[in-house]
Structure 1
């Protein structure tokens, strides 16, 4: 018997349309001569609701009947859409109510209770799924995952109940059981049993891991992860619409991308399929015909190249400083023992002769303010710790990173004016990671992706962009589509063609009006000034003046141009922002009463008498600049513009 294991996540099991897709996919696998084993998550949002109920027990404010009524209503609505009877869920709903009532009465909200409560989501969704598949004429029996997966012994109560692991060697008993006459089987992700038969959870990403465990134990021909995106991409498509589909990845690369922050797969699901050499395929439930991503075991998969940019946010950076660590035996052991004592797992590590810097990932650790305060106090016994929050990692992932470091030089220039807290290069040569301020990450990823992947031809690894996969239907030949959001030069095509008798520079008045009105609508801005250097055309100036904009001028000539083209403009609407102007120009502007912006300390240091009693605007340098090239960045260490914060 040849098995294939298919995992369907929370969004994939939450609507009737997606269950129809699940049924179609299962039928297609049977027609290929395979026995499908469907591993399903709880309905989207149900696990969060159950977790919140357990939290409410701990806070003394849980209403078990209200919780179960809400969960039942959610499943009843889906049952109606699936045209099945909710009676199939009554046993599990009654069991959930009993557990919640007992736990609430005793005020018990420990890990064991949490595991029992949260297992209900997967049990309920698969009850509905089994009933639906039976209504479609298939013989797809429901099987309890706790009868197929037994957790290994684990140290610590939380890990035992909430982050269990299972062996993934061959399981002849499971093969015999699931070889019984049936069209397939449906079971739960996320849950298993311990040696005593009690329910345990497999932790975050548990359904992916359940599918991988079962695929390995059954010796399946494939493990398919069906989710809401059509595979793994070169970056997060929600940040970079031009992100490219990764058609194939070697398993170690996929594991690195997942561990570095991509959320399509959980890293724990890859070890079992790697050990059993079961190919893994990532597919999209809403678009089952898209090719997806195939994870294989060919360690020589192509030339050295960056294949993805992965991000993790919300990291905590801990710096350990001490002169005493130099050549001291056991310092790292002593320092890391402190983290272990606080049940904290270290992620990235960078060392020098007098300091060690590490990061903590909140996905693997509880890192609230109380935990960090206790950690800092304990670390003071061995070093001088500094804790920084609000940082994120950006990882360039791919095989053979060390061999292409010279090619990455232009890419790394993007970090020129960033505060880089830590740089690591993976021992397995699969990633280069930089830790920076979290608020810079999205912009950096967009720019990095442009440098690494823009214009890259499709091949066996790099596929189409997200935008290409989900582009709107093309118009029929000869028919033009006009959209409200089309650029003005599209809607004004005929007018522009009529002006094309000679080279022209054309500005669109209504677009300028919309831009001015939009920025004037900002309630948080006191005044808006148009930079004359952008375009000093007289019609542009008059149009913006009519919208109430002021004008920033960098020279006496620009001041004169505004006053000529916008007669009678008030002086308070003129902002004079010179850069290294002469004493005469500065004195003339101040004598006229122009609003004056100081962008360096030279004028007040050299001619303090000119500024006595004058109200000034200050141009501050925030320490980092933006722009596609160093020559157009007007802030940062290399810029001549602005007053640095340490000079204020």
Structure 2
């Protein structure tokens, strides 16, 4: 027998908001139902606010972006398939959403106009309309009686004429007021309601949206209307962290923060909560509790007016990107009355919200808030035109902000001084210290942001040991689940005893598993769209690795004559003509010797053709082109774009063709390489499109070499590169090429990285305040990637592989450099002198980049077969 439905006079509403990742997975629904039932059985009426299924809003936005070319039938089919599949996974009737899908079809076939912001808002709202109807059905399946609540009946926007029409429909603002009569009426009708987030109405009753991420705002605005004291936000993370844990595994959960700090964190880039959601919460004293949907055991972040301020302290390091930076320069602005007023009038007229401002006698630099602005290319072009009437204008769209967020930043600047050394040799466009003393923000190039956050976090945030009222456990501590499902074991786990025996009498060693190399070669050779695979031997030139790759069917790509000679000496039957030589800024003699050896040659610089063209007369060569932008896990491994030294710019291709004709040099192939450690399958599709377009201008081209850069997962929970998707995309694109053109690739890391491990004995352990260290017998002299690139490698105590981690350590080597760090904030068991530590994924660019720095010999190399 159900308890009597309470009234607003006797109880308080509870608002539960579930994000798109939560509602999109069938396995999450038992958790969702349990939480709804828990609160309703306590006598509290509940409103469940839901986002669209993850990815649905993006798909609807893509349909809008496609404009007149958008295919309504394809959109309907995709959304229908996605929602019906989830209905089936939840045990529901697949036709349960047919009515809403039919309404979508009617709208698309009738009144939809892709150029109208009002119609765009109506289309985007269908994501939440579908998910909320699905949510009602799923709750009722488990016996929770729920009714659907139209958010447009409770949330009404307020606008001023100064805001653009587009902003008023797509990024509307609400000013919610308490409505006890509405709260009482709803409580009488049902204990559980389900409301679509993101959606509101304007005073005329039209559908408007609260901006991307607006479901959080819907929840707190609704709480203000109904007089709720608490909003519970459920997502795929348990709350706010001291940094983005996807990039900083040592990031610590923030247990409790006040509204001011939470607002600052959200505004400056923390992704777990939308900043606009905090405005009604702050104004109405509503506590926000953050939870992870599938981990009810984790106590998440509380954002509460009762939060005790702990004095001056940095709570988090956050970033936002991309940020648009606008620089205004004119010597005449000095002491010019009204200049800033005229500038800001332009921003007001274009409905652009300015975030940060810094001024000098002849320059004003400011940034645009990406969450508050709809600043597409036409808007920025209009901004440049209007501001150009006042002064010289430069607009940079690929910037990022890196912010230290916390209370009393000004009072602890002296303590932050050493940490700010991480900005050395980084271009800083702007420095801003917030007027409310809650953040210190740097505007930098977007490509530097991730690394700067990692470095600052290590310097500023207390180490992840223990816990207090501010900082909770680290991400690694929370989500290392030794009792969870066991993933496919890496080879070194199954050969643990063999590896330990290999270390008898040794302090350190690289060990390579040759069967793993063969398996990687087999996967590459299975690519149907690729005609030839070369092994980029700079990743690891060990003779056994070279023989294994060639015997498996791969060719060899080299970047120096010494590499070429190593390969020819190591592999019986390998001919110079079967290799590819790709030098960069090498001396003239090296090119001449390559021609004498018969090495196929790649040219990546017009200088070679302009000054040494006679040395290459009659030769067939590859031209390495720069496609214009690079990818990769770190800026120093991105090998395309103006900041990379490689390749001939596309704008200079005509000049290259002229020089080749002048010297009777035949262009046999075109080559491009965008970077290293790339996990996006479409990277090589873009390269093929670019090179294919160039190849259609050159009759002699027989080969398009897409380079390497195929990434491998660093962490066990990361998905591998989808080479099937890569293959499928290349197969489609090669249909546009002449049938005689062949496609090559030249991976290095993909072939050898997972096959190699670095083993090293523990020499010492050390505690220094809250930070604990494990010292190893070798360091950056054997593996420089962490110091050079900030590379992350899994580290385990091989001697204690069966013991769970119970302490957080920094793992370091014996080299006399502060940068001699192999791993930061690693959760490991208590480690002792003599234990053998294993550093995984070190088969590529480990031994190949080793040195004798400090006159310490790097780790020797061993192979297993």
When normalised by structure 1's length, the TM-score is 0.76
Distance 1:111 1:369, change over 3 A: closer
Q: How does 1:568-647 map to 2 (within 5 A)?
A: 626=788
1:11 maps to: 21
1:586-634 deviations in Å (ceiling 9; x for gaps): xxx99xx99xxxxxxxxxxxxxxxxxx999xxxx9x899958968999x
Match of 2:41 among 31, 40, 51: 31
Q: How does 1:392-541 map to 2 (within 5 A)?
A: 392-453=400-461, 455-457=463-465, 458-473=467-482, 484-485=489-490, 504=507, 506=509, 508=511
**Cα contact 1:306–1:398 (8 A) shared by 2:** yes
Distance 1:459 1:87, change over 3 A: same
Give the CA deviation at 1:504.
4.5
**Cα contact 1:232–1:245 (8 A) shared by 2:** yes
1:30-83 deviations in Å (ceiling 9; x for gaps): 233322211112222222333333444x425443x5533443333222233333
**Structure 1 residue matching 2:110: 3-state secondary structure:** helix
Distance 1:42 1:510, change over 3 A: closer
Question: Is structure 2 residue 55 aligned with structure 1 residue 45?
Answer: yes
Question: Is structure 2 residue 130 aligned with structure 1 residue 124?
Answer: yes
Give the CA deviation at 1:87.
5.4
Give the CA deviation at 1:424.
0.5
2:359 maps to: 351
Question: Is structure 2 residue 106 aligned with structure 1 residue 112?
Answer: no
**Cα contact 1:154–1:164 (8 A) shared by 2:** no
**Structure 2 residue matching 1:408: 3-state secondary structure:** helix
| Runs of 5+ consecutive residues of structure 1 not aligned to the other structure | 476-480, 532-539, 554-588, 595-612, 634-648
1:242-265 deviations in Å (ceiling 9; x for gaps): 211111111111111111111111
Distance 1:544 1:87, change over 3 A: closer
Give the CA deviation at 1:28.
1.1
Question: Is structure 2 residue 227 aligned with structure 1 residue 219?
Answer: yes
Which whole-Å CA distance do the structure 1 matches of 2:533 and 2:372 have between them?
39
**Cα contact 2:13–2:227 (8 A) shared by 1:** yes
1:189 maps to: 197
**Cα contact 2:114–2:120 (8 A) shared by 1:** no
Which whole-Å CA distance do the structure 2 matches of 1:474 and 1:197 have between them?
53
Give the CA deviation at 1:510.
5.5
Aligned-residue RMSD, C-alpha: 4.5
1:340-370 deviations in Å (ceiling 9; x for gaps): 2333222221111221111124443344444
Q: How does 1:284-303 map to 2 (within 5 A)?
A: 284-298=292-306, 300-303=308-311
Give the CA deviation at 1:508.
4.1
Relative to structure 2, which stretch is displaced further, 176-185 or 543-552?
Answer: 543-552
Which whole-Å CA distance do the structure 2 matches of 1:108 and 1:551 have between them?
51
Distance 1:371 1:471, change over 3 A: same
Give the CA deviation at 1:454.
5.7
Question: Is structure 2 residue 388 aligned with structure 1 residue 380?
Answer: yes
**Structure 2 residue matching 1:180: 3-state secondary structure:** helix
Give the CA deviation at 1:332.
1.0
Match of 1:269 among 254, 267, 277: 277
**Cα contact 1:86–1:128 (8 A) shared by 2:** no
Distance 1:183 1:377, change over 3 A: closer
**Cα contact 2:96–2:134 (8 A) shared by 1:** yes
Distance 1:413 1:66, change over 3 A: closer
**Structure 2 residue matching 1:117: 3-state secondary structure:** helix
1:519-571 deviations in Å (ceiling 9; x for gaps): xx9x999986799xxxxxxxx99879989999999xxxxxxxxxxxxxxxxxx
Give the CA deviation at 1:428.
0.7
2:6 maps to: none
Distance 1:342 1:143, change over 3 A: closer
| Runs of 5+ consecutive residues of structure 2 not aligned to the other structure | 1-10, 525-531, 550-555, 562-588, 595-613, 617-638, 646-786, 791-816, 822-865
Q: How does 1:230-245 map to 2 (within 5 A)?
A: 230-245=238-253
Q: How does 1:99-178 map to 2 (within 5 A)?
A: 99-103=107-111, 107=113, 109-155=115-161, 156-178=164-186
Which whole-Å CA distance do the structure 2 matches of 1:464 and 1:299 have between them?
19
Which whole-Å CA distance do the structure 2 matches of 1:270 and 1:37 have between them?
18
Distance 1:276 1:552, change over 3 A: same
Query: Which structure is higher in helix share?
Result: 1
**Structure 1 residue matching 2:92: 3-state secondary structure:** coil
Give the CA deviation at 1:318.
1.4
Distance 1:530 1:259, change over 3 A: closer
1:106-137 deviations in Å (ceiling 9; x for gaps): x5640111222222222222222212222322
Give the CA deviation at 1:222.
0.7
Distance 1:527 1:99, change over 3 A: closer
Give the CA deviation at 1:329.
1.8
**Cα contact 1:421–1:435 (8 A) shared by 2:** yes
Relative to structure 2, which stretch is displaced further, 326-335 or 428-437?
Answer: 326-335
Give the CA deviation at 1:89.
3.4
Which whole-Å CA distance do the structure 2 matches of 1:530 and 1:92 have between them?
54
Which whole-Å CA distance do the structure 1 matches of 2:85 and 2:507 have between them?
62
Give the CA deviation at 1:377.
2.5
1:248 maps to: 256
**Cα contact 1:482–1:491 (8 A) shared by 2:** no
When normalised by structure 2's length, the TM-score is 0.58
Match of 1:210 among 218, 231, 238: 218
**Cα contact 1:41–1:190 (8 A) shared by 2:** yes
Give the CA deviation at 1:21.
1.7
